[in-house]
Structure 1
């Protein structure tokens, strides 16, 4: 999937590589001939496909984040100025209010197809629709790039050349299979394709023809798009009959340091400790004896949740707590369009560099922060909390 700007994900300055027109064309052609073509033929791409799709191809040096041929140039600068502002911006009610009516309408429009998709893959329609909404605004987002040109450029001069060479070969296989024409094979600048924003390798594994026209069409078929999303989630372990999670009141006697999927216990055990749903309703009977874990995307500075395994299946679609929570929350709002009961409290703003320094200090004290990458995942959050408790403070599990 294509990673977008989330509140806990670095904001990359989208600088383009300075280049005069045609500067890299000859080197690019040689790269395609000597590097890409042999690997593609070995992977089963025919010479006819290579001749047809790569003929006359030039690199798109306007793409953001390019570093130079071979991926050996200087990486683009990272803007550290606004990374950890309040996630309230990411979860603005206005966004959900704009997405909910269209989602409800599409659920009615595609009711029959969604029933068949649910029956086959076991993924609820509201989750499918929420991912579709987040990825492409139910298909309304502009996805203007020639996927093959993007992938070839990224393989030639992007920051992950080997990764994108594999995706380019996968893209050539898609065209060879005939699911889409070259003109119809549109992607983002990062190579993620169509309404569900599948990279080519994901398309080959998970895209499905569900409308029966003989083509796996994630660009203009709503039904194929929804079924492909469901297939992806099912293949990544979606547990049929379980929800993604529940917003809860987390009493102070339950430490935020217990967050994380490696600290799962029966939801009934949390109930005995005083955890309760914000709705006032009991946990569903089919859930209460199933495992769950504490989820605190902003530590004690934001709403609290009990998450199920399915929350982390959504994260497999896009590796971000914020993304998965957005999807789960939007899915809930198709029913009752209400915001979180808990509030996103004002929090100390910081930078990725400062967080990395903090992580390194915590590692020096023996904490497992999940790697000093400057991002505040659950291992970093609970390590902060453990250090706070060790020094006699109430744990907030957040910076500051």
Structure 2
């Protein structure tokens, strides 16, 4: 789903802080008269946009206050805040690669059908499925999946930056309910209203949702084929080039590299080479150089399909993560040059072991998923403090060994 850019104005920050403070003072399920007044007033807007009063009233039944969790999540977006190594480690990891390969075998007939219709690489679709919903694993998680109606109403009512977005998406979500594609109790999504296995916001769902399994519903919540076909339709409709790469890891010379787009032949003249030593398939293709971790990290030449992936989520990190994970699911090798890190890294199974030990010792209460997110790093810091060592919060080999000794 598209992640919205951060608004830098001080006024926005002050207003959001005031809103958060006000909402935190309210009990989670305590009716908020001001919010209820807003819901009543927005009903007129919804009716003017073709929503029946009955659908509107049913959609908001029991919703009497904004969702503080939504506003907390809105203030943290990993595409912009997470360290580079953490962002990629949590997405291009052993568990996701192995699961992607298994799902590919299970879904092969559907993937073939989707590829034939839309021309999108199945490995890309599997990578999107993994990154967006952990292959559907988050859909039953009530902590992560909330009422789309309440989440979007919260943004429309309480988030100055996303007020317009919230109103637009809320109207689209109400139209989805009115069309009967999903029942209200199943209209669940992320903090920003992203829905289903492939996490589509309501307007994107309206534009691209596909019923490929032929049951008469465009069901991205319960039908994996529909969800993957919907993702493929979005990419295809935005210019995906069948059989073309998203990008390649490359090596670059020490001299300063130009910005902008050049042909592969022009990049080669500047000393850019594929990191694995293989030749570029096309010298005429136009590419752009990306250095997500600066000159000390991996470098990539990216092509048209990379920018199509950004139509799914407007983040270089996101598009590179999808590309790298799709390569690994397809049997490709790991990066030649690793991300810059201030510690000795662990693989996914070792991170799981670290999480288990932290949980056993009472420092961690999250999922054992091999992903070193904010919760894991906070637990590591708490453990380091108790052990009397410098508090860094890194999922490092050193921390794992210390945990094993104690």
TM-score class normalised by the smaller sequence: 0.7 to 0.9
More moved, 125-134 vs 290-299: 290-299
Alpha-carbon distance in 1 for matches of 2:39, 2:106: 45
Give the Å deviation of 1:297: 1.1
Q: 1:267-306: CA deviations, max 9, x gaps? A: 122223332211211112xx33111111111221211111
The answer to whether structure 1 residue 31 and structure 2 residue 31 are counterparts is no
The change in CA–CA distance for 1:23 and 1:146 in structure 2 (over 3 A counts) is closer
Residue 111 of structure 1, aligned match among 108, 111, 117: 108
Match of residue 157 from structure 1: 158
Match of residue 273 from structure 2: 276
The answer to whether structure 1 residue 147 and structure 2 residue 148 are counterparts is yes
Alpha-carbon distance in 1 for matches of 2:301, 2:113: 29
Give the Å deviation of 1:112: 1.4
Whose helix fraction is larger, Structure 1's or Structure 2's?
A: 2
The change in CA–CA distance for 1:298 and 1:62 in structure 2 (over 3 A counts) is same
The answer to whether structure 1 residue 314 and structure 2 residue 305 are counterparts is no
Residue 49 of structure 1, aligned match among 39, 50, 55: 55
Q: How many equivalent pairs are there? A: 322
Match of residue 131 from structure 1: 128
Q: 1:310-357: CA deviations, max 9, x gaps? A: 11111221122111111100011013353211232358xxxxxxxxxx
**What is the alpha-carbon root mean square deviation over aligned residues?**
2.9
The answer (yes or no) to whether the contact 1:66–1:154 under 8 Å persists in 2 is no
The answer (yes or no) to whether the contact 2:85–2:341 under 8 Å persists in 1 is no
The answer (yes or no) to whether the contact 1:24–1:59 under 8 Å persists in 2 is yes
TM-score of the superposed pair, with normalisation by structure 1: 0.73
The change in CA–CA distance for 1:15 and 1:147 in structure 2 (over 3 A counts) is same
| Partner secondary structure for residue 90 of structure 1 | helix
1:355-370 to structure 2, matched below 5 A, reads: none
Give the Å deviation of 1:66: 6.9
The answer (yes or no) to whether the contact 1:302–1:344 under 8 Å persists in 2 is yes
Question: Which structure 1 residue ranges, 5 or more long, are not aligned?
Answer: 6-11, 68-74, 348-400
More moved, 25-34 vs 104-113: 25-34
The change in CA–CA distance for 1:88 and 1:144 in structure 2 (over 3 A counts) is closer
Match of residue 246 from structure 2: 244
| Partner secondary structure for residue 305 of structure 1 | strand
Give the Å deviation of 1:137: 0.7
Match of residue 399 from structure 2: none
1:275-354 to structure 2, matched below 5 A, reads: 275-284=272-281, 287-336=282-331, 338-345=333-340
Question: Which structure 2 residue ranges, 5 or more long, are not aligned?
Answer: 6-15, 343-406
The answer (yes or no) to whether the contact 1:103–1:129 under 8 Å persists in 2 is yes
Q: 1:354-391: CA deviations, max 9, x gaps? A: xxxxxxxxxxxxxxxxxxxxxxxxxxxxxxxxxxxxxx
| Partner secondary structure for residue 292 of structure 1 | strand
| Partner secondary structure for residue 245 of structure 2 | coil
Match of residue 170 from structure 2: 168
The change in CA–CA distance for 1:59 and 1:94 in structure 2 (over 3 A counts) is closer
Alpha-carbon distance in 2 for matches of 1:225, 1:43: 27
Alpha-carbon distance in 1 for matches of 2:171, 2:120: 30
Alpha-carbon distance in 1 for matches of 2:85, 2:146: 31
